[in-house]
Amino acid sequence: MREIKPQGKVYLVGAGCGGEELLTLKALDCIKNAQVIIYDSLVDEDILLNARKDCEKIYVGKRFGKPSPLQSEINGIILNKALEGKTVVRLKGGDPFVFGRGGEEAQALEKENISYEVLPGISSCIAVPQRAGIPVTHRDTSRSFMVITARKSDGTPVDRQVLEGYARTKGTLVVLMGLNLIGYIAETLISCGLSEDTPAAVISDGCRKNQRVIRTTLKNAEKDVKENNMKSPAVIVIGDTAACDFSGEKQQQETKNILITGTATHTEKLSKELKKLGLHGEKLILSKINISTCEQELAKGIEKVENGCYTIFTSPNGVDVFFNLLKKYEIDVRKIYGTRIAAVGSGTCEKLRNYGLIPDVVPQKYTVEELAKAIAEDCRKNGGVKSAVAFRSAQGSKSLEEILTKEGFDFTDVSTYSVGADKDAIENFEKNGAEKKYSRITFSSGSGVKIFFEEMKNPQSFFLQDTVVICIGEETKKQIEKYRGLIGNMKIITADNFSCKGLAKAVKESCYEQKQKIKTEQHNEKSC
């Protein structure tokens, strides 16, 4: 029996096509427990959110025409991490053994006697056509299907003999990684005897929120791909079933290209709220919460809390960090007993209720200026102590301190956490071919706006001429206004409710307005 070295273990995992709902349960379990995840460009970013906080994520995506690591280099990374004794997940779009080079990686692991396991995934060769409403087999039109890649391992086009073999069948041909060769493929098949009117379909960004489909013929395929500006990754389907549309989506959604920005937690929560409303957003993780430099400040701030004073929270993040640090330093939560709790935003209030606290002071208008005025008014009415301690972001608005100090308060501003750019997440987003433009872009904080415009390489490229920016709070809106020079005369909407639910509602309403506008324009055109 072959000796297995006592190193780590590698899981070659198929991520399938789409989000975590299409993963196998075992694949999801492996991802949650991995110490290292080595992933491709076609892996949905949502899946990576299931990883442990201390998991090392290594991007090794390959995209045609863009710099990418050699397969030998990827093999080396997998081997080295396993030899360090780590539990490694090699996460691949689709299925590892269906044009996923999983066999080559398994060979490398076999050679080094490293323990590994292969977990299947849903292959794009059947899933992407299915999402476009195309069955690869149908008893009346196609009793078989053939799957090929358009290029050989040396990068040259697939041999003519392969296409001749398909031309002699009456099935369906599925071509992966062939968008740039569609002209060659179509011409070759026609020269091999297929009718130039043979149906063909091209699906770009299959199984993603921004999936696009064109149905054409072999004769018009190359022209239609260019005219519709179809982009990789794409799957090509050729044969009678390519003309089918059994997608069940007869009413196309008006707006699919929504960009959600913020922290990992915020983008995930807003994404779920949008899904409840029938909308889908792409997540751009811009920022992360950093509390390591703020722990000493929190301890000092707690000492300032006294009976009758005002304890202020301005964000859900501030509430979470506050209570987590109380637990870490074993500070009794009854320290804030007898204080009056002040909060701004329904999200902040909801978070406080989760910890068993009901705020005493909440302004009707969700701004820190209104919060400060509400605290001063509450103090006058109830004869409270003119002392306030705010536990919030280091980047918080100075207006809170200025107004309360002017009202005669002894004000202590505690930097409970800071928000910084998540440069790894931004880099990954840009590496994954972030060339799309968005009709809706959301922002949840001024710091997020600043990171977007100052850390992204080409932020203005994400905007269409009529892009609508939707944000939480006047402070966030003011920050966006500073970048008018980059985004032009874009419409900026502030959500009525300062929560993910409120932001999602504002996005939905904006999409509805767009739909009504389009209907009106179409009606006017018919009238003319």
Q: What is the CA radius of gyration of the chain?
A: 28
Alpha helices by DSSP H, 407-443:
423-431
Of 76, 72, 39, 74, nearest in space to 55 by CA: 39
Q: How far apart are CA 180 and CA 236, in angstroms?
A: 11
Classify 61 in phi/psi space as left (phi over 0), alpha (psi -120 to 50) or beta: beta
Which of the following is catalytic: 62, 231, 386, 431? Answer: 62
- The verdict on whether 62 is a catalytic residue reads yes
3-state secondary structure of 129: helix
CB 92 within 8 A of CB 43: yes
CB 43 within 8 A of CB 93: yes
Torsion of CA 363, 369, 372, 378, to 10 degrees: -40
ω into 199 cis (within 30 of 0): no
- The verdict on whether 111 is a catalytic residue reads no
3-state secondary structure of 135: coil
Of 45, 39, 53, nearest in space to 20 by CA: 45
CB 191 within 8 A of CB 160: no
Distances (CA, A) of 174 to 55, 237, 346: 36, 5, 50
Structure tokens at 50: 């299931």
Which of the following is catalytic: 40, 320, 413, 422? Answer: 40
Which of the following is catalytic: 177, 205, 230, 508? Answer: 177
CB contact set of 51 (below 8 Å; sequence gap of 6+)? 31, 32, 34, 37, 57
How many CB atoms are closer than 10 A to CB 139?
7
CB 399 within 8 A of CB 368: yes
Q: How far apart are CA 112 and CA 230, in angstroms?
A: 42
- The verdict on whether 40 is a catalytic residue reads yes
CB 313 within 8 A of CB 348: yes
Q: Residue 494: in which H helix or E strand, if any?
A: strand 491-494
Structure tokens at 285: 């993780």
Q: How far apart are CA 31 and CA 395, in angstroms?
A: 34
Active site residues: 40, 62, 177
